[in-house]
Amino acid sequence: HAADAHRTDLMTITRFVLNEQSKYPESRGDFTILLNHIVLGCKFVCSSVNKAGLAKLIGLAGEINIQGEEQKKLDVLSNEVFIKALVSSGRTCILVSEEDEDAIIVEPSKRGRYCVVFDPLDGSSNIDCGVSIGTIFGIYMVKDDHEPTLADVLQPGKQMVAAGYCMYGSSCTLVLSTGKGVNGFTLDPSLGEFILTHPDIRIPKKGKIYSVNEGNAKNWDGPTAKYVENCKFPKDGSPSKSLRYIGSMVADVHRTLLYGGTFMYPADKKSPSGKLRVLYEVFPMSFLMENAGGQAFTGKQRALDLVPTKIHDRSPIFLGSYDDIEEIKALYAAEG
């Protein structure tokens, strides 16, 4: 049967989101246009990543970003592409990028109601060896058309109206939530369209995998150390867990969503706030986790309740399967 070998009902991401938003006729056109511009940026970065070795896109750009990291050529290129795509959508008013020290206030003639926070290229250290990397984004919406200020983006993650990531891996996969579940779309390169391939992603309630940079173990706090010890030497007779750590948050979180388990970037003595940035790494991934039935915890509170005070704030993060994060919460509670 031909239909067994070919997908014939092509649910594109645009059609999907238009259907989903049909309850909000006043905003659906604007959201769809914004999303189309994000999707265009993802396709461009995907094609750049695929030919990085051929197009001399490997290696350093020569600048240090606000995070104190050496920028890769692909960090800079992806950042430019997303900024131009978002501004030209005419639907944004303020943008925050990992690669720019200051927020970008969109010029009045191109303004719309959405604020987009993003990590244009996540997993930079994996570019040059061909391992999966990604783009992460979160979207807020302002209520009226006041002059945009930082206060519009220094909002808790639970206020986001949508969040997602695109993974440039063995295939190019875009995972999106508009607050009602999580759906995954795979780029069909011959069509240039993202097609719904992973409808209603639910993270397994409990997982068999943990994911953390164990090289930092000597600086961990008690609960993190105890949790990882329990993964390796379970006290209740259950089998020990497997360790998987790619070092690209997008790829590690994608695997966690599909297979279950935990992903952690905890605090340590050298970096008491961890490494990952609240607005464009911790919040979007926490938003997706909760929408898929998992949890996201900072070691102190629900991650989506955090109120960032600066656009590049960092936070420790533990996210993943519901039961596994309960176990981590209990260890922190026991420490008092």
* Interface residues toward Mn ion, by CB under 5 A: 69, 98, 119, 121-122
Closest distance to Mn ion from the beta carbon of 279 (Å) = 11
Widest distance between CA atoms in the chain: 63
- Closer residue to ligand AHG (CB): 155 or 248: 248
Q: Which residues contact 215 (CB under 8 A, 6 or more apart)?
A: none
Q: Pick one of ligand AHG, Mn ion, none as the site partner of residue 38 (Cβ within 5 to 8 A by kind).
A: none
**Could you give the CA distance from residue 12 to residue 200 in angstroms, rounded to a whole number?**
15
Closest distance to Mn ion from the beta carbon of 98 (Å) = 5
Q: Pick one of ligand AHG, Mn ion, none as the site partner of residue 247 (Cβ within 5 to 8 A by kind).
A: ligand AHG
**Which residue type does 333 have?**
A
- Closer residue to ligand AHG (CB): 121 or 139: 121
- Closer residue to ligand AHG (CB): 91 or 277: 277
Enumerate binding residues for ligand AHG (CB under 6 A).
Answer: 69, 98, 119, 122-125, 213, 247-249, 265, 275
Residue 79's nearest CA partner among 34, 137, 160 is: 137
Residue 256's nearest CA partner among 187, 201, 194, 314 is: 201
Q: Among all chains, which residue has been given the structure tokens 């993060």? A: 317
Closest distance to ligand AHG from the beta carbon of 117 (Å) = 13
**Which residue type does 314 have?**
R
What DSSP designation does 266 have?
A: -
- Closer residue to ligand AHG (CB): 122 or 152: 122
- Closer residue to Mn ion (CB): 69 or 327: 69
Q: Three-state SS for 175?
A: strand
Closest distance to ligand AHG from the beta carbon of 267 (Å) = 13
Q: Pick one of ligand AHG, Mn ion, none as the site partner of residue 291 (Cβ within 5 to 8 A by kind).
A: none
Closest distance to ligand AHG from the beta carbon of 183 (Å) = 23
Evaluate whether 305 touches 270 at the Cβ level (below 8 Å).
Answer: no
Strand partners, 111: 92
